[in-house]
A and B are shown apart, each in its own frame.
Chain A
Amino acid sequence: EAGVTQFPSHSVIEKGQTVTLRCDPISGHDNLYWYRRVMGKEIKFLLHFVKESKQDESGMPNNRFLAERTGGTYSTLKVQPAELEDSGVYFCASSQVPGTEAFFGQGTRLTVV
């Protein structure tokens, strides 16, 4: 069974540009989460999808971040325009039941220069 996959694994962009991260959850997992780890800090929650609906987006930093999950399958996280403080590792996770066993992807390392 394939795990959670994320693309790209690494992205370097200039301040002001747009970047789109993609996450493919484990098949059958309705719950999809985005998390972020900035340097020296703990992994922090960004938002939660149940199928195609946003259940909780309380962790999204600001309106430069837009997440979608069309059709309840894969999800994208767009940052537009990117700022220096957006640099970090963005993780996607999926689970069958919310709050329980969540499986993580390998992460996308975003560097804004």
Chain B
Amino acid sequence: QKEVEQDPGPLSVPEGAIVSLNCTYSNSAFQYFMWYRQYSRKGPELLMYTYSSGNKEDGRFTAQVDKSSKYISLFIRDSQPSDSATYLCAMSDLHGSSNTGKLIFGQGTTLQVKP
């Protein structure tokens, strides 16, 4: 079983829709949670970063972490065609045995926002 599970999609929505992207994980030691956006042939771009449980909002983006359920979400409001990309969740356990802070990634969800 993978440490982080993410539905690869693809997910297709009309412009203006609210998009919900999700990941589940198995390691209860994860404390730092990140969402990256990756356009084709580009590197992952950090969108949101959350420590522990709770919500964080940045413009049209909201990240939620529910540690009790081992479930994280990214919501995109008023989605735009320019949001079409692959969205990757990633998480780390800074205080693990190696103290390396390496990121464990989900497989990524491909999102297409149609005009």
- With both beta carbons as reference points, the residue of chain B lying nearest to A101 in the complex is identified as B49
How big is chain B's contact interface, by range? 20 to 34
- With both beta carbons as reference points, the residue of chain A lying nearest to B49 in the complex is identified as A101
* Those of A93-112 within 8 Å (CB) of chain B: 93, 95, 97-107, 109
What DSSP secondary structure best describes chain B's contact surface? loop
The CA-CA distance from A59 to B102 in the complex, in Å, is: 10
A-contacting 9-mer, from B63-71, B73-81, B103-111: B103-111
Complex interface: chain B residues within 8 A of A101 (CB): 34, 46, 49
The answer to whether A104 and B43 touch across the interface, beta carbons within 8 angstroms, is: yes
The answer to whether A106 and B42 touch across the interface, beta carbons within 8 angstroms, is: yes
- Do A42 and B4 form a contact, CB below 8 Å, given A102-B46, A103-B46, A104-B43? yes
The CA-CA distance from A105 to B41 in the complex, in Å, is: 11
The CA-CA distance from A95 to B88 in the complex, in Å, is: 18
Complex interface: chain B residues within 8 A of A106 (CB): 41-43
Add 9 more A-B contacts to A100-B94, A104-B45 (CB < 8 A). A42-B106, A48-B101, A59-B102, A99-B92, A99-B93, A100-B101, A104-B43, A107-B42, A107-B43
